[in-house]
Amino acid sequence: MAEQSNSISHTNNYLKNLSQKKYAWMEEAVASFTPKPATDTKPKSPTESRKGNRKGKKRSSSPSLDQDSHLSPKKSRPQTPKQSTTPPKQTTTSLQPKSPGSEDQPLPTATTITITTTATKEEPRKRHKQPRFKYTNFPVKGYNILPTRNITSSFAKTDASFIPGNKAGAEDIVPNSTEEWRDIIIIHPGSRNLRIGLASEAFPITVPHVIARRMNTKLPVNTEQDTELTEKQEEALNEIKSELKWRMKNAKRRAVPNAEGQVVGFNTNAPRETILDHNDPYKVEWTDVENSNRPEYFIGEKAIHFPVSEDSEYRIFYPWRHGTLNEADYSSLNAVLGDLEAIWANVIQSELEIEKSDFKNYNIVLVVPDLFNRSYLCELVTMLLTHMKFKAVIVQQESACATYGAGLSTAVVVDIGAQRTNIACVEDGVCQVDSRMSIAMGGDDVTKTFASFLRVNKFPYTNINLALPFDWRLAEELKEKWCTMNEAEVSIQVYDFFVRTPFQQTTKYQCKVYEEVFLAPLCLVYTDILQPKTKKTVEWASKNVSDDVTEDSNVSSIVKNLMDPYPIDTAIAESIYAASNGSEEKLKRYFSSIILVGGGGKIVNFSKVLEDRILSTVIAQQSFIERVEVLPAPRELDPEVIVWKGATVMSKLDSAKEMWIGTKEWEEVGARCLKDRALLL
């Protein structure tokens, strides 16, 4: 302690001396401005001395004049007295005036008075030895310009702020404990399917996230045209085939000679059979529109089974596309929100059997992607609270819900959806912001690639059109049944499939396949084989303008992490590297705790192939990673419902009570509620 105090005092003295030396020129400038009147060295005559004595007598007779005599500019500087042989008497040093009658004693001269007054002037100058220039407009070393309170103030800088309305955890917005979670509805929207259900249930209800709306003008049906492969796509196809040969060699499997010729020859003359309706156990009930009763829209299965034709008045819309609101097929934001409200309200009423008048007694947990537009999220919350009249809302991210559903605290969540793949690293239940990635590819790209390979091999159903809902469902069904990444199953096999078209009898086909069942899923790794996607960006104005300025950084980070088709193995490695922050322990932990969620990763043995691909990346090789592990779904749970299941677990925690957002506070402050009561939103 003594050494520390000595060092501090030494530092203070150093700064004090430095400031005095640095500004010593100012003291010299002040001293140079002091006037120096010329001293009169000429001896006075006897007449002048008499006049001086007379003036002295007048001064002594008036004390007031004597006290102000030192203010005269002529006597501002002391004069050297004349040297006389007779020493001055002791009374001359006194400043008290003498009485007029005492003429024997000499009066005090002006010189004596000036000496005493000058001494009083010089006394305050001794105080200027301290550091000067206390108030300056330039910084002095060791001193701050601004007061400390202005630098360290936390006013308007803290995240916590007062929000009018219901406080966090208020009884008015928290679910009723007596209901046992039966008053909480979990909504997980997707590009193809909507998963919705009560928190008290074990599994959600999966409904096609689609609506068939009647239009005033007839619109032509989209048709898909086959295009020839470009040079880039041919190179990617050759790379995929070479990897298959390498894997077959490592698995000690022999390739079938002349396999492609056998497949094409069989499919060209494939037999077909017509099945009558009473013999078809999976007959589809198509939506029949009567002339007298034509509703405005159909939702879910009825919309999928609607017989769309060129002269149809109805058109099918998907309000949720590519992990966000559909900006391509809608002209305004209100149109998208209107279809979302119609779908969600209809499913809640029909599937969950909850009347619209009872919505005010239910809470909603909305699960959104990790990278989601803040303005769109505000509009969704406004729709749920203001228009649909729900009690309260919680907004949660997919990656955090996936870890809750899988029972892990730290994991790399790879969500392969229908049209987008989201990757995020989660540590202790918190999503790492720098690790978030969203790639514009998913299970639909695998379906399209698989369909294109089937056409090359003379698929028996030549009229397949993926733009039609029933044909798209057929292609997805064949992908789920036939596609595999197990080398032992790559051989010439014959499969049966059924084609069901609107108001026609079912037709049974036979088809041979070989290596296309293995090559199609590899399009997620060799992305050059995918068809180029057309982009249509629409800037919709948001009503929640109070948060637009503060969310510029959020929008820029979302745009930065949204990527075009990119190899999934490289994207996972880059996400892990960004989340590890140079820590080898975190790097190894993330590489050994990868979970696959979503319907796109349900292909047989896909996880094992993904492990090999991630281990061969440059980042894994440079970091000397020896083991990469993709964890299986817990308790044989379907990967598609892991996120929804995690949302139910999260809504039952005690910490969720402070995350509910009610109608009052949302109408007062809007988007600020998301910052105070939602994680990373």
Q: Which of 14-18, 23-27, 182-186 has the lowest mean pLDDT?
A: 23-27
Whole-number Å distance between alpha carbons of 356 and 342: 12
> Has residue 412 got a pLDDT over 70?
yes
Per-residue confidence band for 541, with pLDDT thresholds at 50, 70 and 90:
low
Question: pLDDT tens-digit profile of 105-159?
Answer: 444 444 444 444 444 444 555 555 555 555 555 555 655 555 555 545 454 444 4
> Has residue 104 got a pLDDT over 90?
no
Identify the pLDDT of residue 546. 44
What residues does each domain of the chain span?
161-209+318-397+643-680, 230-292+443-529, 408-441+566-633
- State the chain's mean pLDDT as an integer: 78
Whole-number Å distance between alpha carbons of 537 and 515: 38
> Has residue 351 got a pLDDT over 90?
yes
Q: Determine contact, residues 225/359, Cβ cutoff 8 Å.
A: no
User: In this structure, what are the phi and psi dihedrals at residue 211, rounded to the nearest 5 degrees?
Assistant: -140, 135
| Single-letter residue type at 18 | L
Identify the pLDDT of residue 119. 44
Q: Determine contact, residues 446/520, Cβ cutoff 8 Å.
A: yes
User: In this structure, what are the phi and psi dihedrals at residue 157, rounded to the nearest 5 degrees?
Assistant: -115, -10
> Has residue 639 got a pLDDT over 60?
yes
Beta bridge partners of 597: 415
| Single-letter residue type at 58 | K
Q: Could you check whether 161-209+318-397+643-680 and 408-441+566-633 share the same CATH topology?
A: yes
Please identify which residue in the block is written with the tokens 């303008």: 545
Question: pLDDT tens-digit profile of 431-441?
Answer: 898 899 999 99
Crossing angle, helix 469-482 and helix 443-456, to 10 degrees? 90
Q: Which of 87-96, 177-186, 501-510, 591-600 has the lowest mean pLDDT?
A: 87-96
Average pLDDT over residues 589-605: 91
Question: 161-209+318-397+643-680, which class in CATH?
Answer: alpha beta
Residue range 408-441+566-633, CATH number:
3.30.420.40
pTM of the complete model: 0.73
Pairing of strands 562-563, 437-439: parallel
Identify the pLDDT of residue 147. 55
> Has residue 48 got a pLDDT over 80?
no
Whole-number Å distance between alpha carbons of 530 and 243: 17
Question: 230-292+443-529, which class in CATH?
Answer: alpha beta
Whole-number Å distance between alpha carbons of 124 and 127: 6
| Single-letter residue type at 145 | I
